[in-house]
Amino acid sequence: MRLLKTSEISKIIAKADIVAEVVEARAPLALKSGIVEGIARKFSRDYLLILNKCDLVPQNICREWVEYFASNRSINAICVSTVKKVGIKKLMQVFMDKLKKVDSLNVALFGLPKVGKSSLINALKKKDSAPTSPYPGSWGYTKGVTIYKVAPGIYIIDTPGYIPFDVKGLEVLIRSQPVELINNPVRAATELLKLVLKHNAKSIERAYTVRSSDPLEILMHIAIKRGWFYKKDGEPNIEEAARAVIRDYLDGKIRFYLTPPARKLSNSS
């Protein structure tokens, strides 16, 4: 799939009344772009940060993120879960309030692959019309910029395939290509497992029924349990296990959270 360029993003934002950037409540800053916000502010558009997948994060932590963005960054943020249908009404109300001031409302939706843009559109519409990512799924399952009518007078512009160049690191590595094509899945999954183990050790135990602080040992356990072995030597296929972990993470099956920068917590769940 073709990647959207920043110039194309500018054109979409110019036509929008609200710019909504979707990140995950698990790690908002690792997924947030300064570019989208910057262009929105340049065009004097309302900018809204949507913290999706809040079902994977304790409520008070979600609230802290909202407060952090409001007081440290002057950003209006809202916590939602498209799975648990949390915050959807509140989000719709934000759109309805803005609709009172315009004839018809265009909301431009941005966010890295798999943050849940399509799921959010479906939750707002109350029925599925935006394709979400099934597995074996590929990155950028949603094809091309598409406009969805979610309520009378309210249109959402979905922009799949945009990876802002200021967002970097593990989140980009695992989202910017299909999981099958990730070059070294074991390395990526090891980094991911280390991060989750550091902040929410128990969620790995819950997801994979293995108590270990060694990522390689966890991958071995998953491979053996699921019967994945290399044909050539019969060793556990940790590459397949690594891909499974990455997919589970993207699919929102691993509880994990980081806390806002200002606050130091021992946040084991």
Binding site for Mg ion (CB under 5 A): 117-118, 142, 160
| 185 binding partner (options Mg ion, ligand GTP, none; Cβ < 5 to 8 Å by kind) | none
Residue 217 has which token pair? 């040992």
Q: In what order do the strands lie in the sheet with 46-52?
A: 76-79, 46-52, 18-24, 105-110, 154-158, 146-151
Nearer to ligand GTP, 55 or 236 (CB): 55
Distance, in Å, from the CA atom of 260 to the CA atom of 69, rounded to the nearest integer, reads 9
Q: Given candidates 106, 142, 203, 237, which one binds ligand GTP under the rule CB under 6 A?
A: 142
Q: CB-wise, 113 or 185, nearer to ligand GTP?
A: 113
Give the interface segment with ligand GTP, choosing from 7-15, 40-48, 135-143, 149-157 (CB under 6 A): 135-143
Determine, following the binding rule CB under 6 A, whether residue 28 of this chain makes contact with ligand GTP: no
Find the binder of ligand GTP among 114, 199, 221, 243 (CB under 6 A).
114
Q: Which among ligand GTP, Mg ion, none contacts residue 113 (Cβ within 5 to 8 A by kind)?
A: ligand GTP
Nearer to ligand GTP, 141 or 228 (CB): 141
Amino acid at 21: E
Task: Say how many residues touch ligand GTP, by CB under 6 A.
Answer: 25
In 83-179, DSSP assigns E strands to 105-110, 146-151, 154-158
- Binder to ligand GTP among 43, 141, 155, 228 (CB under 6 A)? 141
Omega before residue 131 within 30° of 0, cis: no
Q: How far is the CB of 55 from ligand GTP (least distance, A)?
A: 5
Q: What is the x/- site pattern for ligand GTP, positions 42-61, by CB under 6 A?
A: ----------xx-xx-----
C-beta of 115: minimal distance to Mg ion in Å?
Answer: 9
Start-end of H helices in the chain: 6-14, 28-31, 34-42, 59-73, 88-99, 117-125, 170-175, 185-208, 215-226, 238-250
Region at 202 (left for phi over 0; alpha for psi -120 to 50; beta for the rest): alpha
* Residue 86: strand, helix, or coil: strand
Which residue has the closest beta carbon to ligand GTP? 252
Query: Cα 105 from chain centroid?
Result: 24
User: Which residues, at least 6 apart from 92, have a Cβ–Cβ distance to it below 8 Å?
Assistant: 124, 150, 151
Instruction: Based on the shown chain and the rule CB under 6 A, indicate whether residue 87 belongs to the binding site for ligand GTP.
Output: no
Nearer to ligand GTP, 119 or 237 (CB): 119
Interface with ligand GTP by CB under 6 A: which residues? 52-53, 55-56, 81-83, 111, 113-119, 132-133, 139-142, 160, 250-252
